[in-house]
Structure 1
Amino acid sequence: MKVVLYWFRNDLRIADNPAFVKANLIADRVLPVFIHQAPDVKSAYGFERVGVHRQHFLRQSLDNLQAQLQALDSDLWEYEGEPENVLLQLVNAIGAEAVYCEQIEAPEEIEQCSRIRQQGIALEEFWQSSMIDPDVLPFDLQKMPDIFTQFRQAVEREKLRFAQPISAPTSLAPMPVILQGQYLPQRANSISQATSIYCRGGEDAAQAHLKQYLERRLPDTYKQTRNQLIGLDYSSKFSPWLALGCISARDIAAQLAEYEERHGANEGAYWLWFELLWRDYFRFIHFKYGRRLYRSQGLGEAEVKPFEPAHFRRWSCGETGIGLVDAGMRELSRSGFLSNRMRQIVASYWIYELHGDWRAGAAWFESQLIDYDVYSNQGNWLYIAGRGTDPRGGRPFNIAKQTRDHDPDGKYQELWL
């Protein structure tokens, strides 16, 4: 009898989850598991790595995943601690031959997998978080173009759109029986519930949101509205569910393609695909540069300024005295979300006006954002700081101009201040 443990990471879904489907096809019994990091884990700057909004959205997503698994006569087992320790105890307890999981190509996650293998565990990783399958790209990832425009042009020349998503399974392998006398680690306590002002976690909520977004023909106006600051519909709001893998980029792209077949292609629908391609680019560039993207100087040579706690407190609390910046930072703290435009504005202010360490800003976003994604977060902060692959260097924003362009009547500032 073949027993496999499936470790859910940032793929909290049943539909279009090839690794989970494969585990259930090749094994007689499968134990689905999620591992929480310890709640007292802090960033290098002293604040919690997973803030309350991220915790709540994760809790909702895990509850929904568990309900879906239970509907298929399986379940989700949650634990807390270092993955290599939890998985070793579980593998021994259930007699698992292997652990299957999603591949995450970021330094901390790579190191996790290395430590797991050092325990003698057979770990099988599967790449499944991008819209386009890297195997069909017209270049090796180690030699991919540094510049996004060149990357996009190469993809479009080959007429690559997305990998076809797979359907959700209609049945799952039963769970294993715990072996007699084996120690089973204690399951994690539940995180308290809360509701985001923008969205609720989970695959069901993700699919419902995408359905209504398409039914209301919102792709048609996306390009015109995407830089607005207030409301739910100015942008797609796909990112929270994408970040935890409650829905896949392939699934969104496929449904968007069906939408274009029904209603005709337009600039807004293309721009949604374009943004998903940016997401892929930030993922693929990790294969090329890896840990270099996480150095203080990034891909450049200039060192960062010393970290100033007082400046950081003013910025993170929204107390800089600059209305637009403060409104953005308070929206982030209160809601766990921030528009792409405002992310660029507040990041620019932290780096160029307060001369802050870009890594501290990235860490604060990691803590606060419900749509935190290690690839996109790192990529965007490097882009603004001029420490990534952009040959034009940093991207300082003129805050006065941004205020005139995007909040001329002060309504956004009034809302959050």
Structure 2
Amino acid sequence: MSTLIYWFRQDLRLADNPAFTLACEQAHTLLPVYCTPTQASTAWGFQRVGCHREYFEKTAVRALADQLSARGSALMQIEGDPIEQLLVLAQRFGAEKIICERIAAPEEDAQVEALRSAGLTVEDHWQSSVFSLEALPMSVDQLPDVFSSFRRLIEKAHTQARPIVPVPTTIPAPPQGLVAAPISPLVLPDLDPRSAFPYQTPAFSGGENAAQAHLHQYFERRLANSYKATRNNLSAVDDSTKFSAWLAQGALSAPQIDQALKRFEAAQGANDSTYWIFFELLWRDYFRFLHLKYGRLLYRPSGLIGSDLPHHNAQGFERWCRGETGEALVDAGMRELAATGYLSNRMRQIVASYLIHDLKCDWRAGAAWFEAQLVDYDVYSNQGNWLYIAGFGTDPRGGRRFNTVKQASDHDADGVYRRLWA
């Protein structure tokens, strides 16, 4: 084969990237490509990608480009519609095949099918979960509709994580005459000193090297021993693992975290906190496997329930986005999100519940706002969590409504968080 295109999607790393390794093994000439879609507006009237997420993504892509360049390769960074751009590149360099990771969400699956319909061979490989599909103790069609049942099956079967793949020893040279189109410049958003994920600093920048350094220091400092006790705290950098942004970009893989966790447990001993890190990785996998089972059904207005359109309170939604609902805890969370592109998991649940159950807004508007704002936006987890709170997913209890007074009492009794973001 003369030239093969490797299309980086949400797998911006060289280590433990089985699809990229396969491309390196097959190609004589390899063209690595990353495509940034043209900025678009959502149905709710705001840009689909906000400044925080845009900057973090671009730093991750640039870090990948530097890694490839250091190994004699080059990353072709392009902007526009991925289908159009990849077809142009394939014709220009005589490539008949594209290899990429599979993202089992409607828009991403449709992109692959469009390329195939245009005559290209596209191999998309599932690789973003801890567990490979072959290792699961059930077929995807038989995936339980309750997370706890899925967890018990995994644990009973002692299911093993996907083996980690090293960085390819050789990366085929890019095609001759490769000249990348100019890329729009990075505009660094102001760093808010209150940020719990200060992505503007080197330690929290996008890219594989920063991800690996963070993974190492997290376990080196033995923060895993206190994870369960601190994970519901609202604002400190060390309260949670902070792996999610690098996971979302694919600068860090779930099996790499699982391996580091197991090494830590072997050396320091397992406890409730280390188990809870694994528990969260299981939830992440579960939302991915649900997409393989249900696909587009998860994207209906009422999800798996399939009932009427959700009610929407447009004015309430706008107040929620601005952090002006009058509910102090919710407003603090929304202001943190707008200022930093990050929000603790506990606060995400609280503000989502308030939007859906108190303001009576369409959950899809909230999901779109999170997609635009979060530096750790992940299509599977975002969709799965919003469906979970709304009661339109697989949760047998029909949704989650959080009492904001109780939540404030439980997690911000001294009012420090509310004053911080007042």
In the TM superposition, what is the alpha-carbon distance from 1:178 to its structure 2 partner?
4.2
User: Could you tell me which residue of structure 2 aligns to residue 171 of structure 1?
Assistant: 170
Structure 2 unaligned regions, length at least 5: 192-196
User: Could you tell me which residue of structure 1 aligns to residue 18 of structure 2?
Assistant: 18
Alignment of 1:18-37 (within 5 A): 18-37=18-37
Aligned counterpart in structure 2 of residue 232 of structure 1, from 237, 244, 247: 237
Larger mean CA deviation between 191-200 and 110-119 belongs to 191-200
Cα distance in 2 for residues equivalent to 1:149 and 1:105? 22
Are 2:315 and 1:314 aligned? no
Aligned counterpart in structure 2 of residue 402 of structure 1, from 376, 396, 407: 407
What count of residue pairs does the alignment treat as equivalent? 412
CA contact (8 A) 1:318 1:329 kept: yes
1:185 to 1:56, Cα distance in 2 relative to 1, 3 A: closer
1:185 to 1:62, Cα distance in 2 relative to 1, 3 A: closer
Describe the SS at the equivalent of 2:239.
coil
User: Could you tell me which residue of structure 1 aligns to residue 194 of structure 2?
Assistant: none
Structure 1 unaligned regions, length at least 5: none
Describe the SS at the equivalent of 1:125.
strand
User: Could you tell me which residue of structure 2 aligns to residue 58 of structure 1?
Assistant: 57
> What one-letter code is carried by the residue in structure 2 that aligns with 1:55?
E
Are 2:370 and 1:375 aligned? no
In the TM superposition, what is the alpha-carbon distance from 1:308 to its structure 2 partner?
2.8
In the TM superposition, what is the alpha-carbon distance from 1:187 to its structure 2 partner?
4.5
1:4 to 1:92, Cα distance in 2 relative to 1, 3 A: same
Describe the SS at the equivalent of 1:78.
strand
Cα distance in 1 for residues equivalent to 2:64 and 2:388? 34
CA contact (8 A) 1:162 1:250 kept: yes
In the TM superposition, what is the alpha-carbon distance from 1:134 to its structure 2 partner?
1.2
User: Could you tell me which residue of structure 2 aligns to residue 189 of structure 1?
Assistant: 184
User: Could you tell me which residue of structure 2 aligns to residue 338 of structure 1?
Assistant: 343
After superposition, the C-alpha distances for 1:111-159 in whole angstroms (9 at most, x for unaligned) are 1111111111111101110001111111110111110000000001110
Alignment of 1:340-359 (within 5 A): 340-359=345-364
Describe the SS at the equivalent of 2:238.
coil
Larger mean CA deviation between 155-164 and 140-149 belongs to 155-164
User: Could you tell me which residue of structure 2 aligns to residue 144 of structure 1?
Assistant: 143
Cα distance in 1 for residues equivalent to 2:349 and 2:10? 25
Cα distance in 2 for residues equivalent to 1:205 and 1:186? 27
User: Could you tell me which residue of structure 1 aligns to residue 7 of structure 2?
Assistant: 7
Cα distance in 1 for residues equivalent to 2:186 and 2:230? 35
In the TM superposition, what is the alpha-carbon distance from 1:333 to its structure 2 partner?
0.5
> What one-letter code is carried by the residue in structure 2 that aligns with 1:189?
S
In the TM superposition, what is the alpha-carbon distance from 1:30 to its structure 2 partner?
0.3
CA contact (8 A) 1:4 1:27 kept: yes
User: Could you tell me which residue of structure 1 aligns to residue 276 of structure 2?
Assistant: 271
Are 2:62 and 1:67 aligned? no
Cα distance in 2 for residues equivalent to 1:301 and 1:31? 43
> What one-letter code is carried by the residue in structure 1 that aligns with 2:184?
N
User: Could you tell me which residue of structure 2 aligns to residue 326 of structure 1?
Assistant: 331
> What one-letter code is carried by the residue in structure 2 that aligns with 1:403?
A
Cα distance in 2 for residues equivalent to 1:109 and 1:193? 28
In the TM superposition, what is the alpha-carbon distance from 1:224 to its structure 2 partner?
0.7
Cα distance in 1 for residues equivalent to 2:248 and 2:161? 18
Describe the SS at the equivalent of 1:112.
helix
Cα distance in 1 for residues equivalent to 2:149 and 2:310? 32
Cα distance in 1 for residues equivalent to 2:13 and 2:180? 24
Alignment of 1:251-266 (within 5 A): 251-266=256-271
CA contact (8 A) 2:77 2:180 kept: no
Are 2:120 and 1:121 aligned? yes
In the TM superposition, what is the alpha-carbon distance from 1:267 to its structure 2 partner?
1.4
| TM, length-normalised to structure 2 | 0.95
The CA RMSD measured in Å over matched residues stands at 1.4
After superposition, the C-alpha distances for 1:77-98 in whole angstroms (9 at most, x for unaligned) are 1111111110111011111131
Cα distance in 1 for residues equivalent to 2:309 and 2:373? 23
After superposition, the C-alpha distances for 1:357-401 in whole angstroms (9 at most, x for unaligned) are 000000000000000000000000000000000111011001100
Describe the SS at the equivalent of 1:6.
strand
Larger mean CA deviation between 160-169 and 77-86 belongs to 160-169
User: Could you tell me which residue of structure 2 aligns to residue 135 of structure 1?
Assistant: 134
Cα distance in 2 for residues equivalent to 1:174 and 1:189? 26
User: Could you tell me which residue of structure 1 aligns to residue 42 of structure 2?
Assistant: 43
Cα distance in 1 for residues equivalent to 2:412 and 2:307? 34
In the TM superposition, what is the alpha-carbon distance from 1:169 to its structure 2 partner?
2.0
> What one-letter code is carried by the residue in structure 2 that aligns with 1:297?
S
CA contact (8 A) 1:324 1:403 kept: yes
Cα distance in 2 for residues equivalent to 1:102 and 1:5? 12
> What one-letter code is carried by the residue in structure 2 that aligns with 1:192?
V
Cα distance in 1 for residues equivalent to 2:246 and 2:109? 23
After superposition, the C-alpha distances for 1:51-109 in whole angstroms (9 at most, x for unaligned) are 00001101110111011101101111111111111011101111113111110000010
